[in-house]
Amino acid sequence: MLIEIARIFAAAVIAGVLFVTVDLIFRLPEKGGVSGATGIGTAIAKGGGALHGGYMMGNIVCSPDASAGTLLAACGVSIAGIPGGIAAAVLVFIGNRICHDPGYAGTTGAVLATGVIYGASFAGFAPEHFIAGMVLAILSVQGISHARSSTFLDRLWGWRT
Protein backbone atom coordinates (compact mmCIF):
# COMPACT_ATOMS: atom_id res chain seq x y z
CA MET A 1 0.00 0.00 0.00
CA LEU A 2 2.74 2.48 0.88
CA ILE A 3 4.64 1.71 -2.31
CA GLU A 4 1.50 2.56 -4.33
CA ILE A 5 1.17 5.91 -2.57
CA ALA A 6 4.88 6.61 -3.13
CA ARG A 7 4.50 5.78 -6.83
CA ILE A 8 1.52 8.14 -7.13
CA PHE A 9 3.50 10.99 -5.56
CA ALA A 10 6.52 10.19 -7.74
CA ALA A 11 4.25 10.13 -10.80
CA ALA A 12 2.82 13.51 -9.70
CA VAL A 13 6.30 15.01 -9.62
CA ILE A 14 7.28 13.47 -12.97
CA ALA A 15 4.02 14.52 -14.64
CA GLY A 16 4.12 18.00 -13.08
CA VAL A 17 7.67 18.62 -14.25
CA LEU A 18 6.75 17.31 -17.71
CA PHE A 19 3.70 19.48 -18.21
CA VAL A 20 5.18 22.65 -16.71
CA THR A 21 8.34 22.26 -18.80
CA VAL A 22 6.38 21.73 -22.02
CA ASP A 23 4.12 24.69 -21.25
CA LEU A 24 7.14 26.90 -20.58
CA ILE A 25 8.83 25.79 -23.80
CA PHE A 26 5.66 26.65 -25.72
CA ARG A 27 5.61 30.07 -24.01
CA LEU A 28 2.21 29.77 -22.30
CA PRO A 29 3.11 32.40 -19.65
CA GLU A 30 3.97 35.00 -22.30
CA LYS A 31 0.40 36.06 -23.03
CA GLY A 32 -3.16 34.80 -23.05
CA GLY A 33 -3.04 32.72 -26.21
CA VAL A 34 -6.67 31.61 -26.34
CA SER A 35 -10.01 33.23 -25.55
CA GLY A 36 -10.43 33.71 -21.82
CA ALA A 37 -6.81 33.19 -20.83
CA THR A 38 -6.05 36.92 -20.67
CA GLY A 39 -9.08 37.51 -18.46
CA ILE A 40 -8.04 34.77 -16.06
CA GLY A 41 -4.46 36.04 -15.95
CA THR A 42 -5.61 39.58 -15.26
CA ALA A 43 -8.01 38.43 -12.52
CA ILE A 44 -5.26 36.40 -10.84
CA ALA A 45 -2.91 39.40 -10.99
CA LYS A 46 -5.60 41.62 -9.41
CA GLY A 47 -5.96 39.01 -6.67
CA GLY A 48 -2.30 39.31 -5.70
CA GLY A 49 -0.78 36.84 -8.11
CA ALA A 50 1.69 37.28 -10.95
CA LEU A 51 0.40 38.22 -14.39
CA HIS A 52 2.53 35.83 -16.46
CA GLY A 53 1.82 32.93 -14.12
CA GLY A 54 -1.85 33.87 -14.40
CA TYR A 55 -1.61 33.80 -18.19
CA MET A 56 -0.21 30.28 -18.02
CA MET A 57 -2.97 29.22 -15.64
CA GLY A 58 -5.54 30.83 -17.96
CA ASN A 59 -4.13 28.98 -20.94
CA ILE A 60 -4.30 25.74 -18.93
CA VAL A 61 -8.00 26.31 -18.18
CA CYS A 62 -9.06 27.51 -21.64
CA SER A 63 -7.39 25.04 -24.00
CA PRO A 64 -5.96 21.53 -23.86
CA ASP A 65 -2.34 22.22 -22.85
CA ALA A 66 0.36 19.82 -21.72
CA SER A 67 -1.43 19.13 -18.42
CA ALA A 68 -4.53 17.95 -20.27
CA GLY A 69 -2.36 16.09 -22.77
CA THR A 70 -0.48 14.33 -19.99
CA LEU A 71 -3.66 13.34 -18.16
CA LEU A 72 -5.41 12.15 -21.31
CA ALA A 73 -2.31 10.23 -22.41
CA ALA A 74 -2.24 8.45 -19.05
CA CYS A 75 -5.91 7.52 -19.53
CA GLY A 76 -5.26 6.38 -23.10
CA VAL A 77 -2.25 4.27 -22.12
CA SER A 78 -4.28 2.75 -19.28
CA ILE A 79 -7.04 1.75 -21.68
CA ALA A 80 -5.10 0.68 -24.78
CA GLY A 81 -1.36 0.97 -24.23
CA ILE A 82 0.75 3.10 -26.55
CA PRO A 83 -1.95 3.27 -29.25
CA GLY A 84 -4.28 4.70 -26.60
CA GLY A 85 -1.74 7.39 -25.75
CA ILE A 86 -1.36 8.28 -29.42
CA ALA A 87 -5.16 8.39 -29.81
CA ALA A 88 -5.26 10.79 -26.83
CA ALA A 89 -2.67 12.99 -28.56
CA VAL A 90 -4.85 13.10 -31.67
CA LEU A 91 -7.89 14.08 -29.59
CA VAL A 92 -5.89 16.81 -27.82
CA PHE A 93 -4.73 18.09 -31.23
CA ILE A 94 -8.36 18.27 -32.36
CA GLY A 95 -9.29 20.04 -29.12
CA ASN A 96 -6.53 22.60 -29.68
CA ARG A 97 -7.84 23.32 -33.18
CA ILE A 98 -11.39 23.70 -31.85
CA CYS A 99 -10.10 26.25 -29.29
CA HIS A 100 -8.12 28.05 -32.02
CA ASP A 101 -5.00 27.38 -29.95
CA PRO A 102 -2.02 28.46 -32.05
CA GLY A 103 0.40 26.09 -30.31
CA TYR A 104 0.96 22.41 -29.90
CA ALA A 105 1.78 22.17 -26.18
CA GLY A 106 -1.08 19.77 -25.48
CA THR A 107 -0.27 17.46 -28.35
CA THR A 108 3.43 17.50 -27.48
CA GLY A 109 2.60 16.84 -23.83
CA ALA A 110 0.43 13.86 -24.76
CA VAL A 111 3.07 12.32 -27.02
CA LEU A 112 5.87 12.86 -24.47
CA ALA A 113 3.69 11.58 -21.62
CA THR A 114 2.91 8.43 -23.59
CA GLY A 115 6.64 7.75 -23.87
CA VAL A 116 7.32 8.63 -20.23
CA ILE A 117 4.48 6.42 -18.98
CA TYR A 118 5.66 3.55 -21.17
CA GLY A 119 9.23 3.97 -19.92
CA ALA A 120 8.11 4.22 -16.30
CA SER A 121 6.24 0.93 -16.65
CA PHE A 122 9.65 -0.79 -16.64
CA ALA A 123 10.23 0.69 -13.16
CA GLY A 124 6.94 -0.69 -11.83
CA PHE A 125 4.70 2.30 -12.50
CA ALA A 126 1.22 1.73 -13.90
CA PRO A 127 -0.63 4.28 -16.02
CA GLU A 128 -3.09 4.59 -13.14
CA HIS A 129 -0.30 6.04 -10.99
CA PHE A 130 0.10 8.78 -13.58
CA ILE A 131 -3.65 9.42 -13.75
CA ALA A 132 -3.77 10.02 -10.00
CA GLY A 133 -0.42 11.81 -10.04
CA MET A 134 -1.49 14.15 -12.83
CA VAL A 135 -4.64 15.07 -10.95
CA LEU A 136 -2.44 15.95 -7.95
CA ALA A 137 -0.06 17.94 -10.18
CA ILE A 138 -2.91 19.92 -11.74
CA LEU A 139 -4.42 20.60 -8.32
CA SER A 140 -1.08 21.81 -7.03
CA VAL A 141 -0.94 24.38 -9.84
CA GLN A 142 -4.61 25.30 -10.20
CA GLY A 143 -6.33 24.45 -6.96
CA ILE A 144 -4.33 25.38 -3.90
CA SER A 145 -3.51 29.09 -4.19
CA HIS A 146 -3.76 31.07 -7.41
CA ALA A 147 -1.53 33.82 -6.04
CA ARG A 148 1.25 31.47 -4.93
CA SER A 149 1.02 29.18 -7.96
CA SER A 150 1.08 32.09 -10.38
CA THR A 151 4.08 33.60 -8.59
CA PHE A 152 5.91 30.26 -8.80
CA LEU A 153 5.07 29.89 -12.50
CA ASP A 154 6.13 33.50 -13.11
CA ARG A 155 9.48 32.78 -11.44
CA LEU A 156 9.96 29.73 -13.71
CA TRP A 157 9.02 31.92 -16.70
CA GLY A 158 11.63 34.45 -15.59
CA TRP A 159 14.31 31.75 -15.70
CA ARG A 160 13.23 30.77 -19.21
CA THR A 161 13.39 34.27 -20.66
- Profile the chain (161 residues) by mean pLDDT over runs of 10 residues: 95 95 90 85 95 92 89 96 96 90 89 97 96 94 89 89 61
Q: What is the pTM of this model?
A: 0.91
Residue 57, CB half-sphere, CA atoms under 13 Å: how many? Answer: 31
Residue 133: name the closest of 151, 116, 148 by CA.
116
Residue 161: per-residue pLDDT = 61
DSSP character for 136?
A: H
